[in-house]
Amino acid sequence: MDDAVRSLSETRATIATARSVVVKIGSSALTSMESGIDLRALNALADAIEARMRAGSDVVVVSSGAVGAGIAPLGLTKRPRDLATKQAAASVGQLALAHAWGTSFARYGRTVGQVLLTADDIARRTQHRNAQSTLDRLRALGAVAIVNENDTVATTELRFGDNDRLAAMVAHLVGADALVLLSDVDGLYDGDPRKGGATLISEVTSPEDLDGVVAGSGGALGTGGMASKLSAARLAADSGVPVLLAAATDAADALTGAGVGTAFAARPTRMSARKFWVRHAADTRGGLHLDAGAVRAVVDRRRSLLPAGITGVDGRFYGGDVVSLFGPDGSPVARGVVAYDSTELGEMLGRSTVELPSELQRPVVHADDLVRL
């Protein structure tokens, strides 16, 4: 480890030396309303990413900017608000964006592959695994994956909502050691920096560091603003991936030394892929209502859920689906993979395991498939 890395905090040193990195670039840093893609900015980003790859890291790029890149070519003057025009702009812009990344990395003889994902792809376990294999294979072949949401097919319900969240999901999907969010702002401030008087926060190590922080909306081209970056940083950190939020114009510094921007510490142990999927990615198909004893067993004592503590079943689901678990007051306390169909559970409710036939004696939700909220 060189001296520069040694003098950084542990979180920054981890990001600076991470073997596998997801780099997310926001629309505001890559595109403008008047002229679409900013090729100079994109080339500078590709330079910084290529340098990091040559230093031995694998990099996956999550690139926003499809809608932003489609505005000028379609003769529009502002970011569209309605879904159909946004999707039309994205279809024009994504083509230009992927082409621009391809041309830029070609300067180094590096190939790029386009990976467009919807939230549904991450929520369904087989698609999730397929996306994982594609990203792994691209990496193994030395190509850079350029990931974006599949905007032209993602409907309101199936959207990630913002690419910060998508990037945090991808970081977990590829087992990244660090996530770098590059934007038009040089880090997290305690208030909206556009309003003046705000102070840069250099490091976030616990939720208390965010007390009093006002995360405002984004620019004219950005989607989620600072609130979505904070929630993505929390999601990544919660799953064991440290995050650096920095300005895209500082990409070279962010990717070589990690000495700029705001660093978010990760929790020490990485959540298993299965638990991450249950907690953050999977759609829930129904719910189980628990009595107070079952909530104590599942939440406090980390036990499996047995039929005796279940008082009600919501919705129709099948064994293997993810369901929500609710406490006696109706608030969600956990999520987990259910072992039985909703129709089977009806007769099992409230009964102790020994009273049930042997084929119904497995826990309803096994402790290994259960995440507390």
Ligand X SMILES: N[C@@H](CCC(=O)OP(=O)(O)O)C(=O)O
Ligand Y SMILES: Nc1ncnc2c1ncn2[C@@H]1O[C@H](COP(=O)(O)OP(=O)(O)O)[C@@H](O)[C@H]1O
Binds 286: which of ligand X, ligand Y, none (CB < 5-8 Å by kind): none
Binds 189: which of ligand Y, ligand X, none (CB < 5-8 Å by kind): ligand Y
Q: Which residues are annotated as a binding site for ATP?
A: 24, 183-184, 223-229
Tokens, residue 126: 């087989």
- Give strand pairing partners of 289: 312, 326
Contact assessment for residue 180 and residue 15, using Cβ atoms and an 8 Å cutoff: yes
Q: Which of 26, 259, 307, 363 binds ligand X (CB under 6 A)?
A: 26
Number of residues written out for the chain? 373
Binds 90: which of ligand X, ligand Y, none (CB < 5-8 Å by kind): ligand X
Sequence-separated (6 or more) residues with CB below 8 Å from residue 341: 317, 318, 319
Shortest distance, position 116 Cβ to ligand Y, whole Å: 18
- If the CB atoms of residues 67 and 204 are measured against ligand X, the closer one turns out to be 67
Give the dihedral sign, CA 181/187/188/192: negative
Contact assessment for residue 73 and residue 92, using Cβ atoms and an 8 Å cutoff: yes
Shortest distance, position 194 Cβ to ligand X, whole Å: 16
Q: Is 77 helix (H, G, I), strand (E, B) or coil?
A: coil
Binds 149: which of ligand X, ligand Y, none (CB < 5-8 Å by kind): ligand X
- If the CB atoms of residues 225 and 327 are measured against ligand Y, the closer one turns out to be 225
Q: Is 183 helix (H, G, I), strand (E, B) or coil?
A: strand
Shortest distance, position 48 Cβ to ligand X, whole Å: 18
Report if residue 148 touches ligand X, rule: CB under 6 A. Answer: yes
Using a CB cutoff of 8 Å and minimum separation of 24, what contacts does 348-353 make? 348/307, 348/310, 349/307, 349/310, 349/311, 349/312, 349/313, 350/307, 350/308, 350/310, 350/311, 351/307, 351/308, 352/306, 352/307, 352/308, 353/306, 353/307, 353/308
- If the CB atoms of residues 189 and 317 are measured against ligand Y, the closer one turns out to be 189
Q: Is 93 helix (H, G, I), strand (E, B) or coil?
A: helix
Sequence-separated (6 or more) residues with CB below 8 Å from residue 59: 20, 21, 22, 23, 49, 52, 53, 144
- If the CB atoms of residues 138 and 181 are measured against ligand X, the closer one turns out to be 181
Longest dimension (CA), the chain: 71
Shortest distance, position 249 Cβ to ligand Y, whole Å: 12
- If the CB atoms of residues 222 and 336 are measured against ligand X, the closer one turns out to be 222
Report if residue 222 touches ligand X, rule: CB under 6 A. Answer: yes
Binds 271: which of ligand X, ligand Y, none (CB < 5-8 Å by kind): none
User: Nearest residue to ligand Y, using CB?
Assistant: 26
Q: Which of 50, 58, 121, 151 binds ligand X (CB under 6 A)?
A: 151
Report if residue 36 touches ligand X, rule: CB under 6 A. Answer: no
Give the dihedral sign, CA 130/57/279/213: negative
Binds 180: which of ligand X, ligand Y, none (CB < 5-8 Å by kind): none
Q: Which of 14, 27, 57, 342 binds ligand X (CB under 6 A)?
A: 27
Report if residue 224 touches ligand X, rule: CB under 6 A. Answer: yes
Shortest distance, position 363 Cβ to ligand Y, whole Å: 42
Q: From CA 325, how far away is CA 327, in angstroms rounded?
A: 7
Binds 188: which of ligand Y, ligand X, none (CB < 5-8 Å by kind): ligand Y
* Amino acid letter, 327: G
Contact assessment for residue 31 and residue 70, using Cβ atoms and an 8 Å cutoff: no
Q: Show contacts with ligand X in window 64-93 (CB under 6 A).
A: 64-68, 90
Binds 186: which of ligand X, ligand Y, none (CB < 5-8 Å by kind): none
Q: Which residues are annotated as a binding site?
A: 24, 64, 151, 163, 183-184, 223-229
- Give strand pairing partners of 114: 146
Residues making contact with ligand Y (CB under 6 A):
26-29, 64, 183-185, 188-189, 191-194, 213-216, 218-219, 222-226
Provide the 10 A C-beta neighbour count for residue 304: 17
Query: Which residues sit at the interface with ligand X, rule CB under 6 A?
Result: 26-28, 64-68, 90, 148-149, 151, 162-163, 218, 222-224
